[in-house]
Structure 1
Amino acid sequence: MLGKIANINPDGKYTKAKRYGNYENFLQKSFDSNFFPRDSIVFSSAAVFLSKIGWYLNEVKNHSKDKIHLNFIIDEIEFSADIDLVGFTVSSRQLLGMIKKSASSQKVIKTFVKVSVRKLFYLEDEIMIREMSGIKKLFEKIDQLKMEGNFDKYDSFAFNNLLDGIQSEVEEDFIFILSGLYTFIEKLKKYESMKSYKFIDDKKSAVIIENIVTAYE
């Protein structure tokens, strides 16, 4: 599973984090030309926005006419998401995949985490660069479990404790991610008629860990 995916500090501080790519590098990458032409002014606006918030975009493609797949890097963590433009308001949750590598005893551990996050549709042009301190702490706690394999939320009681003590930081990180993600898509003129939307509260936790896969490289 990790092979298929590979192609894809405290207080949640806002800082001038390292930038992974600039506007020129973004435009030189290979993207779906049917989705947004390389010389599009709209595309340029979206690219400049990502550059401002320090995100590096690996891939953008549409699975179908109304579904977008994005793969991007924030603060050395790789994220992936599928956005259903037509059914966007049907579900109140957004699935996100995350990949992080860490070194342990001269080995490299690759960890994939899939999370379900309560949607927050808030478009914001002036987003500050943010370190993923809460999410990094989550990966550290997973590393401490020293587990290897594929686990879902029903496999282990440990899943229930992974967010203990870091819940608010992790939630703040994902608020930042969703705001940046949806603002980027809006700049591609995919949400032309909607600037804000309040989703129905599903009474579940704001962040739910669905799946964890770990393996040594």
Structure 2
Amino acid sequence: MKWFSRRLIEKGIVALTVLLLAGCAARQEFVPPEPDEQKYAPPELNYALPEATNGSLYRHQYNLTLFQDRRAYRVGDVLTILLVEETQSSKKADTKFGKSSNVDFGAANIGGTTINDTAVGISGNRAFDGSAASSQGNKLEGAITVTVHEVMPNGVLKVSGEKWIRLNQGDEFIRVTGIIRVDDVDRYNQVFSHRIGDARITYSGRGALADSNSAGWLTQFFTSPWMPF
């Protein structure tokens, strides 16, 4: 009896360990990023200083037009993105169905005699009533200046950039990447975030404040889909 109880405890420990590992593997941990990633860093440009020309008002290899504004349109130019993001979503579902059935068998009649004890009745009833509702909202406002990394053949600009803010209890950062039409950039060299195509906007942080808002591994297990209850 003691040997059986010991084996049962060992199997229980193994099963619990497997469940805990599965719960940890079901969630991908957030890895705090590092600043100055190559994807968001300004592009490296090889600038060649033009030779000074004596007796001239203009310099060689310096573009100057009378009817062109100062909006970003070349690799290395910077522009400001106004972050105006707000999303609202809600979903509601109600499901109801039911089914009832009755089957009656009358009393048997044998030789003109009715046998009442043979009367049989079968009835069944099923019902289901379920409802669910969820809602979510997000809002992000601010501004970030990004750099033009590539000019596509059709004139669309591929931009990316990041902004890090060092606080007392950690860091906060904003990262933006996407493509922008030059026509959407206003005269102040600004563009709204909802005008960015294929946008990737990240706002997060790292440090003591960010760690305090993340659940521990045991809490993640009890809230994971692997929890059988």
Kindly indicate which of the two structures has a greater share of residues assigned to strand. Answer: 2
**Which TM-score band (shorter chain)?**
under 0.3
**TM-score with structure 2 length normalisation?**
0.23
Q: TM-score, normalised by structure 1?
A: 0.24
